[in-house]
Structure 1
């Protein structure tokens, strides 16, 4: 039984971030935009799981074709979440570097073009990689005559080799299957490696800023500190939600014809974590917003209770106040 409430939580979490970005007019914000597109991919993936869960409970109709195409769409959105998580980490690195350099109001046209290109590629690459599987798989009828009980589970790679081995289509379907699995694993490994590199680079940047500037400029310190925590939170959610699917794909790639009872635990964990990324991202985004708001209110409260400044301190404080306004605009948004 697929936990439908997990799917509903994923849809609710992704939809909450999308609704926040739309109604707050924050879609164009460089901090919110990558999270908005990542939430769209999570939402579409959760919808695929919801459709698969409904079909999984139905046994009164021939669902081989529908389940096969649903698996392909699910894998496409999985790839999209890989790339959009990578895009989010890249944007986080760029935002932190911009804040550290103090050029928050100066964004070159080349940076804008790079961000747009990365957003387009994050959507286009999964589609281009999934089109051959979709076209040739249906052309050669690779959905076969599957009786696999988990055939409607999204990314159930074991049920994609269903063609009769005595037919001429078996070789083509096997090639398509291995292509699909290798592409999925390769994209995950590439995305994971780049995410870890960006994590290390951003961590070094944050640590160097916090150690060299010191606690005097408090609002800069607060913003970079929250970004440093968010730096580990988003990748942790990514690996937590994707590793079961990657493990299942790797095992089935090694032994594609093993009986499905061996992988019951993997199927169960996959059903729990595959669509949870949107929900966990929503919790992380809400926590970041609350932490930034709390630190900003604490800073304002501390400023109100300060003793009068000496004339020699006013110029220094004025320069600090201007720099903090550049680092943290009046509208608080998550890094």
Structure 2
């Protein structure tokens, strides 16, 4: 009778955390080791991502290149990666200390807001790289218009404002209705809940508003990824077609120019690859939780938990590695080109130019078609 009286005191739409945990004691025992491993992976990867994204931000600030059109989009992307990594780092600490679900619910919502912002900032930086590549291929024939500059500024602002507006209902309604009481207690602060800051089982809600917030959070996350993925793929498709068309014309560039084009092309490809590698596991897991809610403790779900723990917060680290590698490559290619020119006699340089003029269909050996 006492337990019934206590249950009756729980507000409508809320299931007490202790009751929910007690009803799933066996499940929690079976998955406790998995959640503990995910927690440590999340902590480790978030720390590395903080270091990586912080390195790019520090480099931009130290060299005073934040206002550069080529660096500014990368700076904002790195800033969103840094905030995302800090968010999940704090979440791992809260999970370790067994904090209440109130903090985890709000931290999950904030993390989802930053996660969707990183989607748009990735598209913004990819668009900047493709535009730079077009500028270099067209040489003096193409100039960045004022309209494109305005579009870039608008996209930068919307990359933060739009995700925030989409997350406001989750924060406001979730806290008013106390939806955080239904958070999955064993792992409410872990990264495997990306895409849904509430419980993975909406049938536990007796309040329609909390159930609606669950589906709303998942739908917003999936829609943001889908729109960003389509925009990036269309942008890369147009850039590939442009690059192949210029290769077919037999246009020639000096070695330093080819080096810059090569590095820009690689960055335009690698950053979207990192985006898909880091986001696809989270998207797959969010979809599977909607379709197979009763199989959240299946073996293949645990495999996805581990994959997502490694990838969900590693974008800042991978972006830093790619930027450092391509910058080193650019420096090496330019040095090689300068060394080649310095070691040639005037006669050899003239012979090289004559040979190059006869190879109208030749392609620079440092560039391969996309």
Residue 163 of structure 1: how far off its partner (Å): 8.0
> For 1:226-267, what per-residue CA distance to the aligned partner results, in whole angstroms no more than 9, with x for missing partners?
222222211111111111111111111223454445532222
1:10-66 deviation per Cα after TM superposition (whole angstroms, max 9, x unaligned): 10000001111111111112221111111111111111110110011112x4x1110
- The answer to whether residue 230 in structure 2 is matched with residue 187 in structure 1 is no
Q: Can you list the C-alpha shifts for 1:98-136, whole angstroms capped at 9, x where unaligned?
A: 112224995432222111111111111111111111111
What is the CA deviation profile of residues 288-329 of structure 1, one whole-angstrom value per residue up to 9, with x for unaligned ones? 11111111111111111222269x99x99xxxxxxxxxxxxx
Partner SS, residue 191 of structure 1: helix
Task: For 2:175 and 2:119, locate their aligned partners in 1 and report how far apart those are by CA, in whole Å.
Answer: 26
- Say whether 1:251 aligns with 2:285: no
SS for the counterpart of 1:306 is coil
- Is 1:33 matched up with 2:72? yes
Shift of the 164–201 alpha-carbon distance from structure 1 to 2, 3 Å rule, reads closer
Matched, 1:295 2:324: no
Aligned positions, number = 311
Cα contact 2:182–2:204 (8 A) shared by 1: no
* 1:59-78 mapped onto 2 (5 Å cutoff): 59=98, 61=99, 63-78=100-115
- Structure 2 counterpart of 1:45, from 84, 88, 97: 84
Using the size of structure 1 for normalisation, the TM-score is 0.85
Instruction: Tell me, in whole angstroms, the C-alpha distance in 1 between the residues paired with 2:197 and 2:139.
Output: 53
Aligned to 1:328: none
CA deviation profile, 1:114-168 (whole Å, cap 9, x unmatched):
111111111111111111111111111111254521111146156713788574x
Cα distance between partner residues in 1 of 2:236 and 2:143:
24
1:219 aligns with 2:256: yes
2:205 and 2:262 mapped to 1: Cα distance? 61
| Secondary structure of 1:28 counterpart | coil
Unaligned runs of 5+ in 1: 317-335
Q: Which residue of 2 aligns with 1:270?
A: 308
Task: Give the Cα separation in 1 of the matches to 2:205 and 2:137.
Answer: 64
Q: Distance in 1 between matches of 2:182 and 2:67?
A: 47
SS in 2 for 1:29: coil
Change (3 A) 1:108 1:302: same
TM-score, normalising length: structure 2: 0.77
**Residues 192 and 305 (structure 1), Cα distance of their counterparts in 2 relative to 1, 3 Å cut:** same
The equivalent residue for 2:26 is none
Aligned to 2:63: 24
Q: Distance in 1 between matches of 2:143 and 2:273?
A: 31
1: CA distance between counterparts of 2:85 and 2:294?
Answer: 28
**Cα distance in 1 between the residues matched to 2:58 and 2:174:** 36
Deviation, 1:73, is: 0.7
CA contact (8 A) 1:158 1:256 kept: no
User: CA–CA distance in 2 between the matches of 1:222 and 1:210?
Assistant: 15
**CA distance in 2: counterparts of 1:305 and 1:210, whole angstroms:** 28
Corresponding residue SS for 1:188: helix
Q: d(CA) in 1 for partners of 2:146 and 2:197?
A: 47
Matches within 5 A, 1:199-238: 199-214=236-251, 217-238=254-275
CA distance in 1, matches of 2:280, 2:54: 23
**Is 2:191–2:312's contact at 8 Å kept on the other side of the alignment?**
no
Question: Which sits farther off after the overlay, 93-102 or 262-271?
Answer: 262-271
Q: 1:101 aligns with which of 138, 145, 152?
A: 138
Tell me the CA shift for residue 216 of structure 1.
Answer: 5.2
Q: How far apart in 2 are the matches of 1:76 and 1:11?
A: 18
Q: Does the 8 Å CA contact 2:255/2:334 hold for their aligned counterparts?
A: no
CA contact (8 A) 2:104 2:189 kept: yes
Unaligned runs of 5+ in 2: 1-35, 355-370
CA contact (8 A) 2:60 2:75 kept: yes
Partner in structure 1 of residue 45 of structure 2: 6
**Structure number with larger C-alpha Rg:** 2
